[in-house]
Amino acid sequence: MKLSNKTKVLEQGEMTFAERIYLPAIVGGMGTTLKHFFSKKVTIRYPEQKRYLGPVFRGHHILKRDEQGAERCTACGLCAVACPAEAISMVADERKKGEEHLYREEKYASVYEINMLRCIFCGLCEEACPKQAIYLQHDKMVPVFEDRSEVIFGKDKLVEKMDNRYLREGWK
């Protein structure tokens, strides 16, 4: 049954004289490789050069602050529940008087830890978060760790720095 007109029947006949002395084809082939020799290389030298991985890449986690610089996270624990790898754990605490500029809600996470060996970067925490507090950054990867003591990332490594705010494409 013919499905399309794209089929091409190849007939392998006897080679012509030019084909049988090989040399014309060899010279042609060498021309092709020489063209590639001078063409632009596709290699990206990774650690020095990084490639843009797109706006939806899921990299290093970040705990966002709001415009006033207060942490958005209210330690509801939904991210920990959503996490299929059980990588997230937290300790909730009550906001004291005078800490309004630090935490947006009355409850906050005094400890927030992600085990980077368990994390599978699925992004379900980001989807579960009702306060838009946790995000997986599209432009930053989790740095290499060399020791097991380094794999649990606490708030010092996760909370957004005000002088280096995270902006995703499409946000204002």
Partner 1 sequence: MEITSTLFTAKAIYVGVIFAITLGVAAYSTYFERIIAAFMQDRVGPDRAGPFGILQPLADAVKMFMKEDFIPSQSSKWLFIVAPCLSMLTALMTSAVVPFGDKLDLGGDVFLDLQGIDVNIGILWVFGIVSLGVYGILIGGWASNNKYSLLGAIRAASQNISYELAMGLSIIAILMLSGSLSTKTIVETQQNGHWNILYQPLGFVIFIVCAFAECNRTPFDLPECETELIGGYHTEYSSMKLGFYLFSEYINMFISGAVMATLYFGGYDYPGYEFVLDKFGMNIAALLGVGALIGKALIFVFIFMWVRWTLPRFRYDQLMGLGWTGLIPLSMFNVVLTGATMLFTVNGEGSNWMTVLLSWAGVAVMLVVTAFYSQSQYKKKKLATA
Q: How far is the CB of 46 from partner 1 (least distance, A)?
A: 11
Q: How far is the CB of 53 from partner 1 (least distance, A)?
A: 21
Residues 125, 112: Cα–Cα separation, whole Å: 13
Instruction: Select 30 or 117, whichever has its Cβ closest to partner 1.
Output: 30
H or E element in which residue 128 lies = helix 124-128
Other beta carbons within 10 angstroms of residue 82's beta carbon come to: 16
Q: Which residue has the tokens 């020489």?
A: 34
H or E element in which residue 38 lies = none
Instruction: Select 34 or 81, whichever has its Cβ closest to partner 1.
Output: 34
Residues 27, 94: Cα–Cα separation, whole Å: 79
Contact indicator for 62, 135 with CB cutoff of 8 Å: yes
- Residues of the shown chain interacting with partner 1 in the complex, contacts defined by CB under 8 A: 14, 16-18, 20, 22-23, 26, 29-30, 32-34, 36-37, 39-43, 45
Q: How far is the CB of 37 from partner 1 (least distance, A)?
A: 5
Instruction: Select 19 or 127, whichever has its Cβ closest to partner 1.
Output: 19
CA 64 to chain centre: 17
Binding residues for [4Fe-4S] cluster: 73, 76, 79, 83, 119, 122, 125, 129
Q: How far is the CB of 21 from partner 1 (least distance, A)?
A: 8
